[in-house]
Structures are given as C-alpha cells and as structure tokens.
Amino acid sequence: MRGTPQAVEEEKRKLPLFKTEEAKGKVAFSLFSSSILVGICLIWAYRLSNLPTAGDRGRWLWIGMFFAELGFGFYWILTQALRWNLVHYYPLKFNLSQSSYKLPGVDIFVCTADPTVEPPTLVINTVLSAMSLNHPTEKLSVYLSDDGGSQLTFYALLEASRFSKLWIPFCKKFNVEPRSPDAYFTHNFDLHEHTAEAQQRLFIK
C-alpha cells in the first residue's frame, strides 16, 4: 500500500510546513532583562521605604507615581514570557508545494481611486501579479476596488481577465519571476534563445 496514491497522499499530510529554531543571544538577553528586573524591584523598594507620612506635601503624588511604576513594572514582567523564549519560524518551501491542501484561503484586495494618478496599466499589473502567486488557485481570490468607478479601469480589468488565461499558466509552468508582466518583459532576454520558454514568452509578449 506504500506506493499507492492514497499512501502517497498520507505521506504528504505528514510533511511539516515549517521548522522552528530558537533565536540566538538568548543568554545575553536573559542577563540584560534580569538586570532590568532588579532595577524595577529597587525602584519599588525605594518608593515603599520613603513613603511620605500623612500630612506631608506631595504624599498623593508620590503614591500615584508608585502605582504607575507598579503597573508598568508588572506589564514589563508579563511581556517577558514571549521574549525569553523567542523563536523563528522558517517555511519549508518544498513541503509547502507538496502539501497545498494545508494552505489557507487568501483574499487579496487591490485598491485604486483615480485612473489619472494611478494608471490602469499599473493597477492591472498588480492584479495580474497577485493572480499569478504560487498558491492553489481554488484558495486564492483577487479583488479590485475602484473608488472612482472608472470605465477605463473596468475595461482594463476585462482585458486583463482575457490575458490572464495565458499569463498565469505561463508563470506557473516556467516559475516566472517577477510575475508582473510589465516588470518581467523589461528584462533583456537572449533573442537567439530557442527554448520552449523563449518561444512561449515571445508569443505572450
């Protein structure tokens, strides 16, 4: 059963999507934060040992400062729970490509307002770049929000929807980077190249 499609799928489900590593400099940070904790405790001890007696000028101001320092001190202590055990997460790209079913759904909103300030070609390149992301198609949605309601932007989006039927498969087949058409075609390619990618690139351009 190990070589069957079902067994292969089960193996993919077990693949980790990222690895976790502890941050460097943990000992140095522990010593540094410990010194700050000692300083906080000394401030509290000073406030308590020098508390003005009833009738002294500034008594309530002193008490107010003590409670403020007490609150900020406790807040600082609580935040150290994350900083003392700081870790970094690194995605495992190969496993991500093999385990697309684990990836979440993503909604991308591209906003525009004025076609004179934000040319439709710039907006549509952004839309096409987002649509071409290396993410499962059924889990990726791209929306264009045009506050100006420009007919020119709407027409450009219609043209882009037709062009995307060529552009997106090309990007995913040849792992094209960058995936914005304008940025990609400004590169200087070898005109004498006769590979399948070069022929497809010329056709799409």
Q: At residue 27, what is the residue type? A: V
- What percent of the chain has pLDDT above 90? 33
Q: Is the pLDDT of residue 175 over 80?
A: yes
pLDDT confidence of residue 7: 55
For 109, the token pair is: 């909103």
CB within 8 A of 10, min separation 6: which ones? none
CA distance 33 to 83: 9
Per residue in 76-85, pLDDT (tens digit) is 988 887 777 7
Which band of pLDDT confidence, cut at 50, 70 and 90, is reported for residue 99?
low
Phi, psi of 74 (to 5 degrees): -65, -35
The C-alpha torsion from 38 through 44 and 45 to 51, rounded to 10°, is 160
pLDDT greater at residue 149 or residue 103: 149
The top-scoring range by mean pLDDT among 1-5, 101-105, 193-197 is 193-197
Which band of pLDDT confidence, cut at 50, 70 and 90, is reported for residue 191?
low
**Burial grade of 39 (CB within 10 A; 0-12, 13-18, 19 or more):** exposed
Beta bridge mates, 111: 145
- Which DSSP symbol is given to 180? -
pLDDT confidence of residue 100: 61
Which band of pLDDT confidence, cut at 50, 70 and 90, is reported for residue 59?
confident
Q: DSSP of 48-93, one letter per residue?
A: HHTPPPTT-TTHHHHHHHHHHHHHHHHHHHHHHHHHTT-EEEEE-H
CA distance 168 to 158: 15
Which residue numbers belong to the known binding site? 118, 147
Q: Helix 151-174 to helix 120-131 angle, to the nearest 10 degrees?
A: 40
CA distance 142 to 179: 15
Per residue in 7-36, pLDDT (tens digit) is 555 555 677 778 888 888 788 888 888 899
Among 19-23, 129-133, 181-185, the least confident range: 19-23
pLDDT confidence of residue 15: 74
Q: Is the pLDDT of residue 146 over 60?
A: yes
Among 4-18, 130-144, 165-179, the least confident range: 4-18
Taking the domains of the chain in order of start, what are their residue ranges? 19-89, 104-204
User: What angle is formed at CA 98 by the lines to CA 173 and CA 12, rounded to 5 degrees?
Assistant: 155
**Burial grade of 123 (CB within 10 A; 0-12, 13-18, 19 or more):** buried
pLDDT confidence of residue 1: 45
| Peptide bond connecting 169 to the previous residue in cis, omega within 30 degrees of 0 | no
For 198, the token pair is: 């070069």
Which residue numbers belong to the known binding site for UDP-alpha-D-glucose? 118, 147
Radius of gyration of the chain, Cα coordinates, nearest whole angstrom:
29
pLDDT confidence of residue 55: 80
